[in-house]
Structures are given as structure tokens and as C-alpha cells.
Amino acid sequence: MTAPPHSLDALWNELWVSLASLLRSYIAVHGLSSNRQAAVELGEDRILARCGESWLDLRRMGTQVSWQCGDGRSGVLELTETGRLRSELGEEEMDMAAEAWARDLMKLTELPR
């Protein structure tokens, strides 16, 4: 039995907010050792993270999540009902994707030593 469409919409919205929260948390952790901070903006269909000149732009349409980094990398993922992100390579936990994005965002803004 499948869930009614309105409950699936609520699920996608909740997963979207959760992804933004995970991203905020991991960005904060990666910024601790370097004394850098990033801003994360959450919208109904967009999450934008910025740190210095680096940025990560996530956009959602239903279950589809497209992402693009300031360095030109991009991709498309799909939210699953189990709270994972699916690509052509397989599925990944949302927290693992958020941590990788945060690490890359903060690494790209490292100051020369």
C-alpha cells in the first residue's frame, strides 16, 4: 500500500529540512579548527551554503535534488522514502553526503599557510 500523495510531500519536505540541518552541523564542525564560518540558507526548494568565495547550491524539485559547487562540479540525486540519496552509483546516507559537501566547501576556502 502506498502513502497518500500529501503525506509523501510532507516526507520530502521533512527530509529536505533534515538535509539542511545536517549540512549546517557538518559545516560548523569543519570550521572549528580553522576559525572560519559559513552561511547556510534554507528555502522551500533551495539550500545555499557559502564560505568566502566557495559555495554549494542545492535545489529540489519533488524527490530530485540537483547540486552545484562553485568549482564547477555538479550532479543530480534523488531522495528516497528511507531518507537516503540515490545516484546512478547507488544510494548514500544523507549524513554522509552532507559531511562530504561540508568538507569540500570548507577545504576549498582554506587560507594559505
Q: Does residue 19 form part of some domain?
A: yes
Specify the amino acid at residue 80. Answer: T
Whether 112 is covered by a domain: the verdict is: no
Give the angle subtended at the CA of 44 by the CAs of 98 and 60, to the nearest 5°.
55
Does residue 91 belong to any structural domain of this protein? yes
71 assigned to some structural domain = yes
pLDDT tier for residue 36 given thresholds of 50, 70 and 90? confident
Q: Is residue 113 a part of any domain in this protein? A: no
Tens-digit pLDDT profile for residues 57-77: 999 999 999 999 999 999 999
Q: What is the pLDDT of residue 14?
A: 96
Residue 62 within a domain:
yes
If one counts the domains in the chain, the total is 1
3-21 per-position pLDDT tens digit: 566 689 999 999 999 999 9
- Residues of the domain holding 27: 5-107
